[in-house]
Amino acid sequence: MEVLIYLIPIALVLGGAGLVAFLWSLRSGQYDDMEGPKWRILDDGDLQENSAPVEAAKRKVS
Amino acid sequence: MSAPESDWAAFVTDTGNGKAHMDLAVDGITCAACMYEIERGLRKLDGVENARVNLSSHRLAVDWDEQTTSPAPIVELLQHLGYKAYPFDPAQVKSRGDAVGKEILRALAVSGFAAMNIMLLSISIWSGNTTDIDPETRSFFHWISALIALPTVVYSGRIFFRSAYMAVKTGRLNMDVPITIGVLLATGLSIWQTIQEAEHAYFDSAVMLLFFLLVGRYCDHLMRRKTRSFAENLATLKAESAAKILEDGSTQNVPLSKLTAGDRVLVRAGERISVDGRISTGTSEVDQSLVTGETLLQSVQQGDLVYAGTMNTHGVLEIEVTAAVKGTLLDEVNSLLETAMEGRSKYVQVADRASQLYAPVVHAAALLTFIGWVVMGMDWQTAMVISISVLIITCPCALGLAIPAVQVVASGLFFKERVLLNAGDAIERLASVDTIVFDKTGTLTLPDATLSKKHGLSADQLELAGRLALSSSHPLSQAIARATGAQHILSDVKEIAGRGVEAVVDGRAVKLGSPAFCGVSDVQLNEMRTQRPDASFVAFQEGSEPATLLPVGQFMREKATETIQQLRDAGYNLEILSGDHTGAVKYAADMLQVADWKANLKPQDKIDRIEALKAQGRKVLMVGDGLNDAPSLAAANVSMSPVSAVHVSQAAADAIFMGDSLTPVMSALNISRKARWVMNQNLIISVIYNLLAVPFAVLGFVTPLVAALAMSGSSIIVTLNAVRLRMIAGASTQPNEKA
């Protein structure tokens, strides 16, 4: 039963991490638009475009 | 006449470093392609740093560099792309942030996390209890559960505690009172049991209860939020701004919120007046139909009061903005509205009514259980545990979900029928309606004037009249131009102010204007007026031939006759209450075959009539749009407004319907009746669940495991039953549409 000493905190920390992640996503406005993002993943028009946000994204990736 | 310079500065927020931000409502976004088009188009614009469309709320957020660009080209580009856009007032955007929704969602997340973790421990205990768990381990698990549950109850439960406290303080009883008692008792009992190192603790029940109830609460909130967000977009897209006259005499378009009493604004011919005020210079005739329901034009001059929502037909007016003045129509409407609103808050929602019956019964049952066991010789602690378990298992978990879940499904169905709900309980109130009172102007009829289909002109003449009408800014001319679809303006058109327009085409003079301008005799005009009391007349004359009178007016909405017929067939009592003159109301009532109608009514008269109907035990639905309807909208049991209604009326109405057709009124009533049927089913399911569970609880057989199963089981059943509404309502609204 000593194993519980590790298992329970691990379970709580994992659950807590999920909770924190949710609260963070809520705060950063990820639930503001439930409609748009599912279409955005299908849009690859930005690949050819030479605009500022794309450049910024590339810089971040590299 | 050039358009006044727009004052975009009022809409822009400075985000520092020379960057600026603006939120806009965008009209015309229908699919994801529009979203790409707008975003890409804007990003190509020099200086625009970020543009993001919110596809669910149809709003656009733009950030740009103030050195490189300004708001004007952004709005222009959107217009060029084919989207009408108008910025939000930043002060309003801030206060509109969905703080309540986020609070509920956070509480929901916390209780969800807690429920899962406690359940993990609870299941271990339950399975351990039947095998070989030793008391120390169980006690240890209970303590950990308590450690998770206590902060959760405080954090997630405060939404209910607060509402219950408010209710008790004002001497009412709402559903949050038994919820609060249940949750607090379950938590308190569990802590007591944990200290006693007893076998059973109900932490999982307490937290799961909060989780399910918060789901219901969030559903409820989501529905209202959706309506509000759309209503705000509509209000913003109406671009309620005014041309303010600056000190140097130039004009600038400013949002209404930036105007204060004493400012002067300019209103050109054919523009809607957007403020309440007194005319400081200029004379004109104004169309007050949106305000009083009166369709005849009223002449105004210097010193007269004009109201927001009226239309300036010709002549330029300079208006000094005034606050609501004592004794004016607006003041009267406001005070009537206040009284009517107070009366309305007395309505008790089904869920609260159910809990008013329910709370005393279960609390009495719990008390009797306690007394019964003590009398039978049980020690008081065990008896207390059993009686509290009665309260835990009867805590209105299913009841808390039963109504909101149906409301959410129903509001989705309403939305498909182009009806937006302002209040969640509007569904219940719509379902009980037996009498429908319509306003005429703008409600049964369209809010904008159009040319009657029976005009007696040939196609060529009609086109000519339309092209001639393009040169005039008078609303009646514009109605003709719209109706004919004319696009090419005639050259050398002479406008004679207040009379009409004339031009020479192929050597012949053509005239369009007032009947007198085209030489129509009063006798002929009066004869036409008796034939068509619902119309105003514009005369058209070609050469020296006798002039033709074109009836222009606010005619019936699409499908008005069919909808009225359907409503009558469905057994509703129909009535028309209008502020318009008798002739026009009688004409409309005869056309729709509505026997009960009253004309020339003041706002107070409309309220009196509705109160009289209510006193007879009728449940009244009021459908109206004008400023004069606002108090009666609030006085009726339930109310609807078309989307073209004035601000005050939309705020007072329980539901708003979009589009030019009257059919949403019928579909709203249909859906609400089905929704109420499902709500009642859900309430019955909850009651049956309690009838089954309570005897077990009273006898002391309810362990935490039984409580958890019963609670989640009943919650899931009522939710699934609510979803079923989509099928039964979807199946039966289809044939109506075809009819």
The Cα of A62 is separated from the nearest Cα of chain B by a number of Å equal to 21
DSSP string covering B664-693: HHHHHHHHHHHHHHHHHHHHHHHHHHHHHH
**Residue with structure tokens 């009284």?**
B339
Among residues B53, B55, B697, which one has the least CA distance to residue B393?
Answer: B697
Q: Which domain holds residue B604?
A: 411-439+559-579+589-673
Q: Is the pLDDT of residue B739 over 50?
A: no
The Cα of B54 is separated from the nearest Cα of chain A by a number of Å equal to 6
Contacts of B148 in chain A (CB under 8 A): 12
Among residues of chain B, what percentage have pLDDT more than 70? 94
The Cα–Cα gap between B188 and B6 comes to 62
How distant is the alpha carbon of residue B435 from its chain centre? 22
**Sheet strand arrangement including B264-267:** B5-6, B251-255, B241-245, B264-267, B317-321, B277-281, B305-306
Q: What is the pLDDT of residues B522-563, one digit of tens each?
A: 888 888 878 777 777 888 888 778 888 888 887 888 788 889
- The CATH number linked to B173 is 1.20.120
Across the interface, of A4, A19, A43, the residue whose CB is closest to B113 is A19
Any chain A CB within 8 A of the CB of B324? no
The Cα of B110 is separated from the nearest Cα of chain A by a number of Å equal to 7
Q: How many domains does chain A have?
A: 1
Long-range contacts, B138-141 (Cβ 8 Å, 24+): B138/B197, B138/B199, B139/B194, B139/B197, B140/A4
Contacts of B103 in chain A (CB under 8 A): none
Q: What is the pLDDT of residues B479-521, one digit of tens each?
A: 888 888 777 777 778 877 777 888 888 888 888 888 888 878 8
Same domain, B185 and B157: yes
DSSP string covering B30-82: -SHHHHHHHHHHHHHSTTEEEEEEETTTTEEEEEEETTT--HHHHHHHHHHHT
| DSSP-derived pairing of the beta strands B241-245 and B305-306 | unpaired
Chain A's closest residue to B133, CA to CA, is: A1
Q: What is the pLDDT of residues B155-196, one digit of tens each?
A: 999 999 998 898 888 887 777 888 888 889 889 989 998 998
What pLDDT shows up at residue B489?
Answer: 77
What pLDDT shows up at residue B668?
Answer: 92
Among residues B278, B287, B288, B285, which one has the least CA distance to residue B319?
Answer: B278
Contacts of A39 in chain B (CB under 8 A): 32, 35, 55
Are A19 and B109 an interchain contact pair (Cβ–Cβ within 8 Å)?
A: yes
Are B55 and A33 an interchain contact pair (Cβ–Cβ within 8 Å)?
A: yes
Chain B's closest residue to A50, CA to CA, is: B44
Of the spans B55-59, B81-85, B432-436, which averages the highest pLDDT? B432-436
Mean pLDDT of chain B: 83
What pLDDT shows up at residue B737?
Answer: 39
Cβ under 8 Å to A: B residues 425-454: none
pLDDT-derived band of residue B211, with 50, 70 and 90 as boundaries? very high
Mean pLDDT of A11-38: 88
Q: Is the pLDDT of residue B347 over 80?
A: no
Is-contact B117 B203, C-beta < 8 A? no
Helix, strand, coil percent values for chain B (each to nearest 5):
55, 15, 30
Contacts of A36 in chain B (CB under 8 A): 32, 35, 53-56
The Cα–Cα gap between B268 and B248 comes to 19
Same domain, B214 and B85: no
Among residues B708, B600, B711, which one has the least CA distance to residue B120?
Answer: B708
Are A11 and B117 an interchain contact pair (Cβ–Cβ within 8 Å)?
A: yes
The Cα–Cα gap between B514 and B520 comes to 9
Q: Is the pLDDT of residue B119 over 80?
A: yes
What pLDDT shows up at residue B3?
Answer: 44
The Cα of B662 is separated from the nearest Cα of chain A by a number of Å equal to 29
Across the interface, of A1, A23, A35, the residue whose CB is closest to B55 is A35
Same domain, B617 and B660: yes
- Does B64 fall in a domain? yes
Mean pLDDT of B130-153: 91
DSSP A49: -
- The CATH number linked to B573 is 3.40.50.1000
Same domain, B224 and B158: yes
What pLDDT shows up at residue B499?
Answer: 79
Are A39 and B120 an interchain contact pair (Cβ–Cβ within 8 Å)?
A: no
The Cα of B44 is separated from the nearest Cα of chain A by a number of Å equal to 7
What pLDDT shows up at residue B736?
Answer: 42
pLDDT-derived band of residue B110, with 50, 70 and 90 as boundaries? very high
Contacts of B151 in chain A (CB under 8 A): none
Q: How many CB atoms lie within 10 A of CB B360?
A: 12
- Does B350 fall in a domain? no
- Does B88 fall in a domain? yes
Q: What is the pLDDT of residues B602-633, one digit of tens each?
A: 888 888 999 999 999 899 999 988 888 888 88
Is-contact B54 A31, C-beta < 8 A? no
Mean pLDDT of B44-48: 85
Same domain, B69 and B142: no
Q: How far is CA B490 from CA B270, B432, B460, B510, B541, in A?
A: 20, 56, 14, 11, 16
Higher pLDDT, B344 or B297: B297
List residues bridging with B421 in a β-sheet: B655
Contacts of A4 in chain B (CB under 8 A): 137, 140
Among residues B618, B652, B655, which one has the least CA distance to residue B632?
Answer: B652
Are B113 and A45 an interchain contact pair (Cβ–Cβ within 8 Å)?
A: no
Same domain, B55 and B67: yes
DSSP string covering B568-625: HHTT-EEEEE-SS-HHHHHHHHHHHT---EE-S--HHHHHHHHHHHHHTT--EEEE--
Of B69, B96, B123, the last residue of a domain is: B96
Of B652, B673, B694, the last residue of a domain is: B673
Are A45 and B36 an interchain contact pair (Cβ–Cβ within 8 Å)?
A: yes
Taking phi over 0 as left and psi of -120 to 50 as alpha, with beta for the rest, B270 belongs to left
Number of A to B CB contacts under 8 A, please give it.
Answer: 62
DSSP string covering B250-312: -EEEEEGGG--TT-EEEE-TTPBP-S-EEEEE--EEEE-HHHH---S-EEE-TT-EE-TT-EE
- Dihedral sign of CA atoms B331, B335, B337, B341 in order: positive
Cβ under 8 Å to A: B residues 342-361: none
Contacts of B56 in chain A (CB under 8 A): 33-36
ipTM of the prediction: 0.72
Among residues of chain A, what percentage have pLDDT more than 70? 69
Contacts of B144 in chain A (CB under 8 A): 8
pLDDT-derived band of residue B401, with 50, 70 and 90 as boundaries? confident
Is-contact B574 B594, C-beta < 8 A? yes
- Does B261 fall in a domain? no
Q: Which domain holds residue A32?
A: 3-61
Number of residues in chain A:
62
Cβ under 8 Å to B: A residues 12-41: 12, 15-16, 18-19, 22-23, 26, 31-36, 39-40
Same domain, B122 and B229: yes
Same domain, B187 and B207: yes
Residue type (1 letter), B706: V
How distant is the alpha carbon of residue B24 from its chain centre? 20
Are B117 and A35 an interchain contact pair (Cβ–Cβ within 8 Å)?
A: no
Chain A's closest residue to B106, CA to CA, is: A23
Cβ under 8 Å to A: B residues 135-154: 137, 140, 144, 148
The Cα of B261 is separated from the nearest Cα of chain A by a number of Å equal to 37
What pLDDT shows up at residue B323?
Answer: 67
Catalytic residue numbers of B, as ranges = 439
Any chain B CB within 8 A of the CB of A43? yes
What pLDDT shows up at residue B730?
Answer: 62
- Does B308 fall in a domain? no
Are B106 and A34 an interchain contact pair (Cβ–Cβ within 8 Å)?
A: no
Are A33 and B106 an interchain contact pair (Cβ–Cβ within 8 Å)?
A: no
- Does B632 fall in a domain? yes
Are A26 and B106 an interchain contact pair (Cβ–Cβ within 8 Å)?
A: yes
The Cα of A42 is separated from the nearest Cα of chain B by a number of Å equal to 10
Contacts of B116 in chain A (CB under 8 A): 15
- Does B648 fall in a domain? yes
Long-range contacts, B632-637 (Cβ 8 Å, 24+): B632/B340, B632/B437, B632/B577, B632/B603, B632/B606, B632/B607, B634/B337, B634/B340, B634/B341, B634/B343, B634/B344, B635/B340, B635/B343, B635/B344, B635/B607, B635/B610, B635/B611, B636/B437, B636/B610, B637/B347, B637/B429, B637/B432, B637/B433
pLDDT-derived band of residue B738, with 50, 70 and 90 as boundaries? very low
Any chain A CB within 8 A of the CB of B106? yes
Same domain, B63 and B173: no
Contacts of B44 in chain A (CB under 8 A): 51
- Does B290 fall in a domain? no
Of B76, B96, B116, the last residue of a domain is: B96
pLDDT-derived band of residue A54, with 50, 70 and 90 as boundaries? low
Are B105 and A26 an interchain contact pair (Cβ–Cβ within 8 Å)?
A: yes
Q: How many domains does chain B have?
A: 4
Higher pLDDT, B224 or B593: B593
Contacts of A26 in chain B (CB under 8 A): 102, 105-106, 109
List all residues 6 or more positions away from B323 whose beta carbon is below 8 Å from its beta carbon.
B261, B276
Mean pLDDT of B694-714: 84
| DSSP-derived pairing of the beta strands B655-657 and B638-642 | parallel
Chosen for mutation from A3, A4, A54 (greatest number of chain B CBs closer than 10 Å) is A4
Rounded to the nearest 10 degrees, what angle do helices B329-344 and B603-615 cross at? 20
Cβ under 8 Å to A: B residues 31-60: 32, 35-36, 40, 43-44, 49-50, 53-57
Same domain, B424 and B483: no
Reported as half-sphere exposure (CB side, CA atoms, 13 A), residue B665 has a value of 35
Paired tokens of A45 = 């028009």
pLDDT-derived band of residue B69, with 50, 70 and 90 as boundaries? confident
What pLDDT shows up at residue A53?
Answer: 60
Backbone angles phi, psi at B638, to 5 degrees: -155, 155
The Cα–Cα gap between B354 and B683 comes to 8
**Residue with structure tokens 């529009």?**
B34
Are A22 and B109 an interchain contact pair (Cβ–Cβ within 8 Å)?
A: yes
